[in-house]
Amino acid sequence: MARLGIVAANFSGLSFAELQQLAREAESAGIEAIFSPEFMNDALANCMLMAQATSKIKVGTWIANIYLRHPALCVQTAVAIDDASKGRLVLGLGVSHRPLVEDIYKETMGNARELLRNYITTVRDIAAGKGYAGAPMPPRAATYKVPIYVGALALGTVELAAELADGVMLYLCPINRMPKVQNAIERGAAKGGRKVSALDVTTGLPACISDDMNAAMTAAKNNLAFYGRLPFYNKLFQNSGFVKEAALLADGNPAGVSDRMADEVSLIGPPSRCRERLAAFREAGIQLPIITTVPVGDQTYVEAVRTTIKTFA
């Protein structure tokens, strides 16, 4: 089957047992990878749980917040999961968002992209057996390989991913932005002396699956209204051509999400329509679509994820 990833978010009322069960169901359906977001939870711990419950599917962080772990600790946790899963871990790293990092976790964000560059380099070097300067003893290297993917909204971060990492994790990126993304990948690959094909291009796609188009559109808009209040996403919306929508969302007006905006960054409606939209993203250059489920109407989160698996697998 075509490459596909899904998201299972256990901060959405999902128990750890349900997380493991959904991982097994995704594996049985032939899905390539299942990812855990990180928001008031531990994405790496979730990956270990999902790996323990499965034998073939890749498990990944989407994304692990670099401000919450020293890079040496992050890579040693990743090395443990890499070994236990026999090489199935995908380590997604990113800088999260200023309100979360500074207001909730009380960390200073500083120059986020430069910190990310140094973090990726440290993790990559330790995982490859190059060690860590100043460490009292050599840290353990990966048994297999820990591929590093970078969460990227801004084009400069896309460029950094293409320079240093194994993959890029886009999110809420409309098809009309993909030429700019591709240009950034080419610049980064050239800077790193790498081929463009060395980078796996992924994007997160919210899926609101229902035969009730109005209900599905409402769910999609409510989902995007949350992101529109975060500065990095608001800037992404502006740079993607949703200028009026971004201005309204910045002022806390959830009505700022237009039908056009929702439809261009989400998969909305009946299963057949969602599959058609997914095909368009693949044609635009997305190699691994990662479906993040948004429940519609009175659906539970588990029911909604199972609908996603059934629709796309």
List pLDDT tens digits, range 264-281.
999 999 999 999 999 999
pTM score: 0.96
Collect all residues with Cβ–Cβ distance below 8 Å to 171 and sequence separation of at least 6. Answer: 151, 153, 203, 204
Collect all residues with Cβ–Cβ distance below 8 Å to 82 and sequence separation of at least 6. Answer: 88, 89, 127, 142, 143, 144, 145, 146
Mean of pLDDT values over 55-68: 97
Q: First vs last Cα of the chain: how many Å apart?
A: 8
pLDDT at 65: 96
Question: Residue 40 pLDDT > 90, yes or no?
Answer: no
pLDDT at 138: 85
Mean of pLDDT values over 26-48: 97
pLDDT at 68: 93
pLDDT at 97: 72
Question: Residue 254 pLDDT > 90, yes or no?
Answer: no
pLDDT at 149: 98
Question: Residue 159 pLDDT > 90, yes or no?
Answer: yes
86 vs 58, 59, 143, 151, 179, CA distance in Å?
Answer: 10, 11, 8, 24, 36
Burial string for 286-312 (b: 16+ CB within 10 Å, else e) reads: bebbbbbbbbbeebebbebbbbbbebb
Mean of pLDDT values over 150-160: 98
Question: Residue 99 pLDDT > 80, yes or no?
Answer: no
Return the higher-pLDDT residue of 251 and 55: 55
For the chain, give the mean pLDDT: 95
* Residue percentage of the chain with pLDDT more than 70: 99
Question: Residue 131 pLDDT > 90, yes or no?
Answer: no
In order of start, what are the domains of the chain with their CATH numbers? 5-312 (3.20.20.30)
In 3D space, the residue among 208, 200, 207, 209 whose CA is nearest the CA of residue 170 turns out to be 200
